[in-house]
Amino acid sequence: MTITDFERVDRILRRALEYEGERRERWIRRATRGEPDLEVRVRKLLEAANDDGGFAPGGAHELASGRLGETGSELGALTAGDRVGKYRILGTLGRGGMATVYLAERADGEFEHQVALKLLDPAPFDEESRRRFHDERRILARFRHPHVAQIHDGGLARDGRPFFVLEWVDGLPLDEHCSQQGLGLEQRLRLILQVLDALGEAHRQLVVHRDLKPSNLLVTADGRVKMLDFGIAKILQDVESTVDRQQAHATTRFLRVLTPQYASPEQVRGEAISTATDIYQVGGLLYLLLAGRTPHDLSGSTPADVERIVCAEVPPPPSEVASTAWRRRLTGDLDAIVMKALRKEPRMRYESAAELAADLEAYLDRRPVSARRGATWYRMRRWVRRHAVLTTLLVLLGVYALTVTWLGWRFDKERRAAEASASLAIASSNFLQDLFRDADPYRAGRGDLTVRDLLDRAQERADRQFAAEPLTAAAVQGLIARALLNLGDRGAAAESLSRVDALLERGADGFGTELIRFDALATAAVLAQHESRLSEAGELIDRADALFEQLPQAHRTREGRARILRLRGRGADLAGRHADAVEIFRNAEEISAGGARPDWDRVLLARHDRVLAMIRGGMNLDQAVELATESIELHQRHLGEDHPMLVHHLVLAGRGYGSLAWRADPARSEERASGFERGLELLEAAATAASRHFDPSSPVVAEIEFLRGGFAYSNGALDDALEYYKGAYRAHSGRESFASDAAASAKWVGLTYLALEQPEKALQYIQQAVDIRLQIVDGKDYRLAQARATLAQVYHRLGRLDSAIEELRLAVDTFQDELSDHKLRVPLTEFLVTTLLDRIEADLDGGLMGRETHVLVDEARTLLGRLPSDGAASAGAETQKARLAQLERALEELP
């Protein structure tokens, strides 16, 4: 145990650590030439350096007191009798790429069940990944489902490696079970339905599996599926990426962690993982169970091959590779289902596990085909009635094609251009017919084809059909982009817009290019506004405006002009110049209203935005409410009762009444109450109308419910508020892009429970809100702090002061550096001080003072010192200082 020649060996080591690969080798050989002993020593050191010698930061206390320490071998494999935390190893169950699974039991005999203990290979080396591991584990432990192997426990082993303790499942992997039992096609589909059921629940809680493969899906003897390793792939990847930062190539890094056969394109590329990733993997499993092989044959592939195959090659439909006996049954419905789940673009897959399950169920209890064929026309009409948004979109497509044709004949003298535009029109109208025809035989009878489905189809068709006609494709693509944006899918809209650009490049100078470009610029501006890139939006609007002025007279329509104004108005509104915005919107309204026939659709669109700007700017609210009410009447008169835009006008009017009530003098309670009630009435009408046009989990429905919750809460109708907020939470959860809204809804459900004096229930929901925030934010976030503070409020109410203090410390920590000026810093700090003082007082009252009490006093004093000593906050701080002083005196007076 002595170190000889330290300086020399260390110098070689240091250089060697700076180099990699071949260079490192060369250096070692040169530096140790002719001294084999020295070479061995250096190599040993380097080997130890590889995994930091098995040391983890902060690992010392585990060596000393071994809270979760293990006896037996220090690193590597465990054998029977070894201990990990509270568990004793009984034997090895299996070994995977990054982890080993042991059979184990509780060492303290607390319960007798045998469990599976999964010990991951890499250790999380920095604070950040440790913290993430703990957060993650907490969420996983709370997630329960009959088809999911429950995670009981977990922690870090003595050497820093994470481990999980899972329910031990005695079963066979999914594919082996199917072949051993000789299951038929329908029985296989029913197994997948079990998987989808569990997946749906997990996705609602924002837990993504990421590594679905047969060996993670065990089937017990009585035919129940149990899913293993939920969310563990995420932890592995987090840890792995901190261990291996130099490993630049995403695919290589990924392949170390997961199995490539079921990997989705986004995983292979190292892009964002979402619930759609699991859908893809279920697609792969379906493929395996139906066709008897995986979608792609990756044997012997290099990482680069894997990336190319998974991302670019479309596998043959299952019916083409299945055994002849099943081939016919797969053709059609099942082929379509599997291939939709396996789409390369995540957004083109099924939107949820439930949606995929619904399709499989529809297949399973399919009625005779002849019955469906007979009623096609009837169902199609009914379907059109039920889908006003879609109908509008389709009409828009049709009108566009017609306009282009008409203008083409009238203004363009050149024959070629006329022909081109004619073919554009014919292509577009065929396109529409195809869409309808396509929509029917598959499932129009069920009447739940969504706008999104149709758009996806439109996209698919446009890609195929207009490959040789870039301009037509661009026109259709432009409309798709607009519709996607209206649906709130910004990522997909952006993608669609860039396709428009590319298509316009290819079909340069054809007839209609300028018009399509104008449309694309305007849509891009809206997108930029949605994403708060305001100056960029301004530039796009200017470009669109300039382009507009250069269009031939006949193309410079009032719609175009009004559209530019509405864009400018929204820009002003978003920039906080509400008065300007109101003026611009008024202009847009006038343009659309002028002429022989007012264009009511657009008049009311401008009106809607104008009123919204008034409410947001807190301008003349009475007038806003009046205008909104009038809009509803105009809408009903000119555009009918049954139009999706009417929903927005109703919401707006409702919001207006609510804002009036919130503004009203609290003393005039009757005025307030009637304001909220009128607001609630309008929102109820909005909800009824929305149920006809939007699906129940759509953001519009959720927004309505959330507003209703707010009004009911403010009006003291707490039971109602609870229902509404729960509705908003239901609608929002499960949609990743609205996770933040889901957290807000969960928080308010909790606060309502708190107001109803049911703190335990409140705790449950607010914890959920914090968990959701933890999933979506990285690092410091004021909304996470806010949620923690709310959680602290509940703990405080429950008398769990230590927990409250813990959450508040974390919340206050958020505002240490870059957010130190945030308006939440002072109130949160004050809340923490108050809680500390309460805790001290409790100690004092109970005669339980100790050194800890003094520590708390010191902490409170330090925190008070950091609060501003002047301004609005001073009142609270002064009171607290006085209270602190009083407590300190009381402490001193004690014997």
Partner 1 sequence: MERVEPRGRPEADGHVLQAAEEITRELLRYAEGEAGAFDRVVDLVYRDLRRLARRQLRRYPRRHLETTALVHELYIRFASGHNQIWRNRGHFYAASAKAMRHILVDEARRVSRVKRGGSLDPEPLTDRIADQGNPDLMLRVDDALNKLAEHDPRMAQVFECRFFAGYSSAEVADIFDTPRRTVQRDWTRACAWLRTIVGS
870 is an active site residue: no
Nearer CB in complex with partner 1: 130/568: 130
- Residue among 211, 335, 573, 771 flagged as catalytic: 211
Nearer CB in complex with partner 1: 155/398: 155
Confirm if 353 and 281 have CB atoms less than 8 A apart: no
Quote the least distance from Cβ 122 to partner 1, whole Å.
Answer: 15
Distance CA 481, CA 496 (A): 5
Minimal CA–CA distance to 632: which of 657, 597, 660?
657
Quote the least distance from Cβ 804 to partner 1, whole Å.
Answer: 14
775, 778, 779, 785 alpha-carbon torsion, rounded to 10°: -50
Quote the least distance from Cβ 17 to partner 1, whole Å.
Answer: 7
Nearer CB in complex with partner 1: 134/530: 134
Distance CA 235, CA 140 (A): 11
Nearer CB in complex with partner 1: 64/467: 64
How many CB atoms neighbour CB 221 within 10 A?
A: 10
What is 167-198 written as a DSSP string? E---EEEHHHHHHHHT--HHHHHHHHHHHHHH
How many CB atoms neighbour CB 116 within 10 A?
A: 19
Nearer CB in complex with partner 1: 126/549: 126
Quote the least distance from Cβ 205 to partner 1, whole Å.
Answer: 25
Quote the least distance from Cβ 452 to partner 1, whole Å.
Answer: 45
Q: Which positions lie near partner 1, rule CB under 8 A?
A: 1-3, 6-7, 10, 13-14, 17, 41, 44-46, 48-49, 52-69, 71, 74, 83, 126-127, 158, 802, 846-855, 858-859, 861-862, 865, 888, 891-892, 894-895
Quote the least distance from Cβ 13 to partner 1, whole Å.
Answer: 6
Nearer CB in complex with partner 1: 125/662: 125
Distance CA 400, CA 409 (A): 14
Question: Which parts of 736-873 fold into alpha helices (H)?
Answer: 739-755, 759-776, 782-797, 801-813, 825-845, 851-866
Distance CA 524, CA 498 (A): 9
824 to 749, 779, 788: CA distances (angstroms): 22, 17, 12
Distance CA 733, CA 710 (A): 18
The two tokens of residue 779 are: 């690092």
Query: Which are the contacts of 182, defined by CB distance < 8 A and separation ≥ 6?
Result: none
Minimal CA–CA distance to 227: which of 118, 146, 136?
146
Nearer CB in complex with partner 1: 104/439: 104
Residue with tokens 């008049």: 603
Distance CA 664, CA 670 (A): 10
143: exposed, middle or buried (Cβ count in 10 Å: 0-12, 13-18, 19+): middle
Nearer CB in complex with partner 1: 244/536: 244
Element (H, E) at 255: helix 250-257
Quote the least distance from Cβ 67 to partner 1, whole Å.
Answer: 5
* Angle between helices 600-616 and 621-639 in degrees, nearest 10: 160
- The dihedrals phi and psi of 15, each to the nearest 5 degrees, come to -60, -45
Quote the least distance from Cβ 52 to partner 1, whole Å.
Answer: 4
Nearer CB in complex with partner 1: 41/327: 41
Quote the least distance from Cβ 243 to partner 1, whole Å.
Answer: 12
Rg of the chain, C-alpha, whole Å: 32
Q: Point out the residues that are catalytic.
A: 211
